[in-house]
Amino acid sequence: MADDTTADIVSASPELPQPRAKRGQQARTARPPRVPVHGVLLLDKPVGLSSNDALIRAKRMLNAPKAGHTGTLDPFATGLLPLCFGEATKFSQDLLEADKTYEAVVHLGIRTDTGDTEGQVISERPVEVSLEQIEAAMAQFRGPISQVPPMHSALKRDGKPLYEYARAGITLEREARNVIIHTLELLDYQAPLLRIRVTCSKGTYIRVLGEDIGEVLGCGAHLNALRRTGVGALTLEGAVTLETFDAAGELEARKALLLPVDGLLRSFPAVQLNDELARRFLHGQRLPLGKEGVAVPEQTGRVRVYRGSDEALLGTGLLQEYAILAPERLVSTA
């Protein structure tokens, strides 16, 4: 079972070569050649599908040679799963590091061995809590907190995911991890179901948060439903389902549903370079923009860099003291 909120960039599983047809058998139709695709699909992942399976399906629909996702969602969870294609995969790490926003339904009174609906019930207790008690319990989890990763998670020990040990009936010691709950809101309470909205740092387990709230309330709990609504600055606005993506039909129509590569970089200031400076930037040279008369942001830090003549994204750079621009990640299609 995957981490509720984080995962390394995962590429779609490579497809194995097709075996040659035996004599007397009709040869299979050759797959058309891969087509370079660059951009980001905001996918609204359905329940029951793993993040990697969703990635493989979208990759096939685009016939794309390179794709990856970040921020794995468990199969029982739904919501925003950004899929990166081509040059966009170079910036996927930013989504991995970004804060995430979720809406979750916590079922009070019942604990499961996985902390969610996919597990077996291990205890039941009566639920007799007030809204005031719920608010007081939630207040304890706002800000920096520590969480012990669950055994049913994709964290690895000796090269094997923890959930494989858990399925074998083995429980291992896990160190607590520091995370930050930026916001924790009560959206609705209809006993025994508690609906909350959470914005949190990377590495946060929403299942564990739900369980911990239940323990503070004295009744236990498990996660009944989970929907991710935001990854960094990206939201479900404009997200599409796999059915909608497939129904778009032609390749160009599907590509039109992708955000451009710089859709991942909109939170960074922009710098425009002339053709000569763009050429030097793409060759990895540090540029003294102050001496070149280029308009630069007031603050140092990460910027997105464009060639002014055609508005082509060149990549990202680090704007340093004295308006020195150092290349960071370059786009090969510039």
Q: Tell me the backbone φ, ψ of residue 118, rounded to 5 degrees.
A: -85, -5
Active site residue 74: yes
Active-site entry in 4, 44, 74, 212: 74
Residue 2 pLDDT: 41
Determine the Cα–Cα distance for residues 48 and 182; give it in Å rounded to an integer: 28
Contact yes or no for 34/75 (Cβ under 8 A): no
Residue 29 pLDDT: 58
Specify the pairing of strand 287-288 against strand 324-330.
antiparallel
DSSP states of 262-318: GGG-TTS-EEEE-HHHHHHHHTT--EEHHHHT----SS-EEEEEEETTTTEEEEEEE
> Three-state SS for 196?
strand
Residue 20 pLDDT: 57
Tokens of 76: 């029982």
H or E element that contains 92: helix 92-97
Tokens of 29: 């139709």
Tell me the C-alpha to C-alpha distance, in Å, between residue 137 and each of 98, 130, 180, 203, 218. 26, 11, 16, 21, 10
Q: Which of 189, 150, 151, 193 is nearest to 169 (CA)?
A: 151
Q: Which residues of 156-166 are buried (b: 16+ CB within 10 A; e: fewer)?
A: eeeeebbbebb
For the chain (334 residues), the mean pLDDT of every run of 10, in chain order, is: 43 49 55 84 95 94 90 89 95 88 98 92 96 97 94 80 82 90 98 97 95 97 97 94 95 95 91 96 95 91 96 96 95 81
Residue 267 pLDDT: 87
Residue 19 pLDDT: 52
Max alpha carbon distance in the chain (Å)? 75
Tokens of 247: 């129904």
Determine the Cα–Cα distance for residues 194 and 109; give it in Å rounded to an integer: 11
> Three-state SS for 135?
helix
Residue 22 pLDDT: 54
Tell me the C-alpha to C-alpha distance, in Å, between residue 22 and each of 25, 30, 107, 277. 5, 16, 56, 58
* pLDDT per position as a tens digit, 262-316: 988 988 999 999 999 999 999 999 999 988 889 999 999 999 999 999 999 999 9
Tokens of 190: 């209809």
Contact yes or no for 149/174 (Cβ under 8 A): yes
Tell me the C-alpha to C-alpha distance, in Å, between residue 249 and each of 148, 243, 245, 252. 45, 11, 8, 8
Residue 244 burial (CB count, 10 A): 13
Specify the pairing of strand 10-11 against strand 67-69.
antiparallel
Residue 293 pLDDT: 87
